[in-house]
Chain A
Amino acid sequence: MAAYVAKKRGILFPLALASILFVTLFPIYWIIVTALKPSIENISPVPFLLPHNATLANFAALLSGGYLRNLLNSVFVTGASTLLSLVLALLAAYALCRYRFPFRLNQAFLIWIILAKMLPPVVLAVPIYEVFMKAKFLNSLWGLVLVYQVYTLPYCIWMLFGFVKSLPLEYEEAAEIDGASPLQVLGRIVLPLVRTGIVATAIFTVIVAWDEFLFAVLFIRSPELLTLPLVIVNFIGEFETLWGQLMAVGLLAALPVLLFSRIVYRHMSTAYALGLK
């Protein structure tokens, strides 16, 4: 294939490649190095690019500070809200694809949820806060699981709607003729066919829930219920220069999602090329 703008043989191309990678990766490198430095090196007025005395003390401090609990909170909230979204979204997407509801509810619902996703979430925060207060969902991880549906459910419905819509009808019709109930058709025929779509959707949902900050900071009061983004923001605010521990938490929060990069890349480079027009 012909090179587009730059010749890839000259000196300029590798140089461009290297400088992009440097700008992209240096802050991530800095997270790792800072987490490995003893605190005295982190507040030195002359920063070193490598730790002189690499140490795991920052990670040990996190363990003894009970921050493992916060990691588990994040894992729980992310997992539960992803699972809930996927189940509700698959059911809804299937219904929206295969049945025409009265009053053009199909289109209205799909448009409504995409509009809702466009809103700045802080706009919804006050009424949701009141409702959750009455329902005693504040300061609870289950409350977060519920409220994260504001972000994740519209996304999952749209994605799964697309995947279900692309399925051929024949399998379902055949199963129906053989006497399968609608629920069996959904569980035995549709679910296996959209499996890869579900995986892709789940990953994006996980990233969003793992990252969420606004509702978490509004709803969670007890230290033992904080999720990782809250722990990080408290670190930034309270102990201005406990950078080693801050970055150690950051690393904990970064690693699980970085592992998905390959899948995200593969999915995005096809989805945006073909679908989103």
Chain B
Amino acid sequence: MIRETRMKGKALFFWAILSPALALMVWLTAYPMLSVAVTSLQNYNYMTDTRSWVGLGNYGDILGDRLFLQSFRNTLVFCLGTTLVEVFLGIVLALVFYGDFRGKRTFMILAIFPMMLSTMVVCAVWKTLFHYDIGLLNYTLQSLGLERFGWLIDKNKALSSLALVDIWQWTPFSFIVIQAGLASVPAEIFEASLIDGASSRQRVFRITLPILRDQILLLALLRTIDTFKVFAKVYALTGGGPGNATETTSLFIYREAFSYFKFGRSSAASMITLAAVVLMSAFYLRKILKEE
């Protein structure tokens, strides 16, 4: 009897300490998700606060919207491009700086500075570096006898310039993750392959990369999810321009909702974005889980 009341008291205690976090997450994520799913099927008039069902009308509308398609394409290009480059550079850097050397700790700490900065600080400094007339990059190009670059104002280059900023900021993350992975592999494995006469290319492609496969995939997953959300960089550096060259889905949803108050359309666009994120994550996770 005493034991039973004690068990009950414990259950009550655990429910009590879980519930604040549970309630907050339901309120801030589960409810909004449901609300977006419902609103995507409705025509919601913000001014009169009336809703009418339109079925899949918003989805048809969005999928036929050239600006949305362009924003989706830009987001994919940005996301896959930056992820690929960041992971690749991370691997190269981790291999080059493998092992111990004097000042390695200090070097690593300095090397992760970019990812420690606020995104807005990063944007601010790159905005000045990219400036067409008085930016340092164009000045350097010109003094080398080259043409000035329209970093942020040429519609064929703006998206790549944004990618460059992301790569500068986040390659350190790939670097540190891969080098931690490499450091956890016993050095004997590499030494043994050296004695067996493996060439350095063989050692990289046949031994190191397969061992680090899961870590590399997980890193790619993290970067894909993160770069797919890109908002602050675009907002601060180009505002989606020039033209629509750097419009991304986050910016599109933001504008549909908070500039044009088209909540039905913004919700449908949100659901499509969501589906894309889930699909991409499933792709990576399946690969990660397959071998185990």
B97-129, CB under 8 A of A: which get 1 and which 0? 111110001011111111011111111111111
CA distance in complex: A262, B101 (Å): 18
Main SS of chain A's interface residues? Answer: helix
Q: Does A198 contact B (CB under 8 A)?
A: no
A188-223, CB under 8 A of B: which get 1 and which 0? 000000000000000000010011011001100000
Q: Does B2 contact A (CB under 8 A)?
A: no
Knowing A229-B119, A229-B120, A236-B236, the reply to whether A25 touches B215 (Cβ < 8 A) is: no
Complex contact A183–B13 (CB within 8 A):
yes
CA distance in complex: A88, B112 (Å): 30
Contact residues of A between 70 and 96, Cβ < 8 Å to B? 88-89, 91-92, 94-96
Q: How far is the CB of B277 from chain A (nearest CB, A)?
A: 6
Knowing A25-B113, A210-B118, the reply to whether A5 touches B181 (Cβ < 8 A) is: no
Complex contact A118–B277 (CB within 8 A):
yes
Knowing A28-B113, A127-B31, A269-B183, the reply to whether A233 touches B125 (Cβ < 8 A) is: no
Complex contact A27–B107 (CB within 8 A):
no
Q: How many A-B residue pairs have CB under 8 A?
A: 292
Q: How far is the CB of B267 from chain A (nearest CB, A)?
A: 7
B1-37, CB under 8 A of A: which get 1 and which 0? 0000000001101110110111011011111110110
CA distance in complex: A27, B121 (Å): 10
Residue of A nearest to B177 (CB): A272
Complex contact B176–A23 (CB within 8 A):
no
Residues of B in contact (CB 8 Å), total: 100
Residues of A in contact (CB 8 Å), total: 101
Complex contact A28–B18 (CB within 8 A):
no
Complex contact B39–A126 (CB within 8 A):
yes
Q: Please give, as numbers and ranges, the residues of chain B lying within 8 Å of A276 by CB-CB distance.
A: 215, 218
Residues on A facing B (Cβ under 8 Å): 1-6, 8, 13, 16-17, 20-21, 23-25, 27-28, 30-31, 34, 43-47, 88-89, 91-92, 94-96, 98-99, 101, 109, 112-113, 116, 118-131, 146-147, 149-150, 153-154, 157, 182-183, 186, 207, 210-211, 213-214, 217-218, 228-229, 232-233, 235-237, 241, 243, 246-247, 249-250, 253-254, 257-258, 260-262, 264-265, 268-274, 276-277
Residues on B facing A (Cβ under 8 Å): 10-11, 13-15, 17-18, 20-22, 24-25, 27-33, 35-36, 39, 93, 95-101, 105, 107-114, 116-129, 133-136, 139, 168, 172, 176-177, 179-184, 187, 190-191, 194, 200, 203-204, 214-215, 218, 225, 228-229, 231-232, 235-237, 249-250, 253-254, 257-258, 263, 266-267, 270, 273-274, 277, 281
